[in-house]
Amino acid sequence: MLSVFKTILCCGVFFFFGILRSQTIGVDCDSLTFDYRLDKKFNRFINRGKYFLIKDDLKSADKFLSKAKLRVNSSLSIGVVNIPSLYSLYRFNRGIGKKEELLFYGRLLVCSNSADYQVLADCINISLDLNDNTNAIYFLKKSEELFGRNYQTALAIRNVFLNLNFKDSSLTYVNDYILKSGDVINGSLLYVNTLNRIGQNYEAYIFLKRLVRLFPDALPVKIAFIDASHAFGKEDIADFYFKRLVMNSDIKIDIKSTLIVNAMNRLRESKVSDSGWEMVSKWAHWNIQSNPNEARPYVIAAAIFLKTEQKEKFELYCKYAIENGMKEDQLSREINTLMQW
C-alpha cells in the first residue's frame, strides 16, 4: 500500500526546514547557556512594572519594565538566558499583546527546550496572524517534534507551504505525514485536497479512485469520491455510489443532504443543462425514500423544483416539509439559503 503514497520530492521539505531553523532562531542555540535560578532583581523590576500598570501609571510602569527587559537582554548578550525571567517576560507580553516580542521570547524558550504546548500554540497563531510563514512553519514543526504528529498540525503546515506557493513541498510534506503518522485515510484525503489546491485535479481524481479500491468501506473516502465524480462529470459513477450510500440507514441524513447540496451548487455555478438537475432531483428522491419522516430532504427537493420551475411540485414538497415538523419561517430561510438568494 505504501507505493500509493510514493514520495514526490523526498528531500526538498527537510532541506527547507533546515534552512528555516537557522533563519528563524536568529541566535545559535548551541552557544547559549541556560540559567534556571530565580533572578530576584528582575522579579522586583517586573513586579513593580505590573503594579504601576494596574494603577494606570504608564510612565512608571514603562520605567520598571524596561529595566526588567534590559536585565534579560544584558544576560543574553553574553550568551546566558535566565529561563524564569524569560517566562515572566513571555507571559507579560502575552497579556499586553506585543506579538513580535512574544515570537522572540518563544524562540528562546524553544532553544532551551522549555517551550510547552501553550507557548508553541501562541507563536503559531501569532505567526499566522502576521502572515509570517517562516516562523509559522518553524513553530509548527517544533510542535510536531515535541508533541507528535496530528492531523491539525499537518493541515496547518500544508497550508503554510501553499501560502508560500511551495507546491512540491506541500505534496512531499503530506506524503511524509501519511507514511509516518499512520493516519492513512485522513492524510490521503488531505493529499487529494492538496493536488486540487495546486491545480492537479485529474491526478487528484485518479488518486481518489485508488483510495476507493483500497478502502471501499471508508465513509470519508466514499463521500469525497462521490463529490469528485460529480465535479468531474462522471455522473454514472457518482450516481452508483450515491445510491448505495443514501440507502444506508446507518449514515447520517446530514451527510446525504450535504452531497446533494454540493451537487446543486456546482450545477448552479456551471450553468449546466437540465440533465444535471434531473440527476440531483433523483438523488433528492432517494434521500426522501431513505428518510421519509425527516423535513430536510423535502426542503432540498423543493429547492430543486423551484430551480427547475416546477411550481406545483415545489409547493407540494414545501407542504411535506411542514408536515414533517419544519416551521414556515424556517422553511423560508432554508429555501433562500439553498437557492443562495
For residues 46 and 71, the answer to whether their CB atoms sit within 8 Å is no
> The domain 9-161 belongs to what CATH superfamily?
Tetratricopeptide repeat domain (1.25.40.10)
For residues 102 and 90, the answer to whether their CB atoms sit within 8 Å is yes
The 3-class SS string of the chain reads CHHHHCCCCCCHHHHHHHHHHHHHHCCCHHHCEEECCCCHHHHHHHHHHHHHHHCCCHHHHHHHHHHHHHHHHHHHHCCEEEHHHHHHHHHHHHHHCCHHHHHHHHHHHHHCCCCCHHHHHHHHHHHHHCCCHHHHHHHHHHHHHHHCCCHHHHHHHHHHHHHCCCHHHHHHHHHHHHHHHCCHHHHHHHHHHHHHHCCCHHHHHHHHHHHHHHCCCCHHHHHHHHHHHHHCCCHHHHHHHHHHHHCCCCCCHHHHHHHHHHHHHHHHHHCCCHHHHHHHHHHHHHHHHHCCCCHHHHHHHHHHHHHCCCHHHHHHHHHHHHHCCCCHHHHHHHHHHHHCC
- The 10 Å CB-count burial string (b at 16+, else e) for 66-95 is ebbbebbeebeeeeebbbebbbbbbebbbe
Instruction: Give the Cα separation of 41 and 27 in Å (integer).
Output: 25
- What CATH code would you report for 252-341? 1.25.40.10
For residue 341, the model assigns a pLDDT of 56
**What residues contact residue 141 under an 8 Å CB cut-off, 6+ apart?**
17, 20, 157
pLDDT in tens, the chain (341 residues): 434 333 322 333 332 333 233 333 455 677 888 999 999 999 999 999 899 989 999 899 889 989 999 999 888 889 999 999 999 988 888 877 788 888 988 999 998 888 888 888 889 889 988 888 888 888 988 888 888 888 988 888 888 889 888 999 999 999 999 998 889 999 999 999 999 999 999 999 999 999 999 999 999 999 999 999 998 889 899 999 999 999 998 899 999 999 999 999 988 887 655 678 889 999 999 999 999 999 999 999 999 999 999 999 999 999 999 999 999 999 999 999 998 75
The whole-model pTM stands at 0.70
**Is 252-341 the same fold as 9-161?**
yes
Instruction: Give the Cα separation of 53 and 62 in Å (integer).
Output: 8
Strand partners, 82: 35
| Domain spans, the chain | 9-161, 252-341
Could you tell me if residue 266 is left (phi over 0), alpha (psi between -120 and 50 degrees) or otherwise beta? Answer: alpha
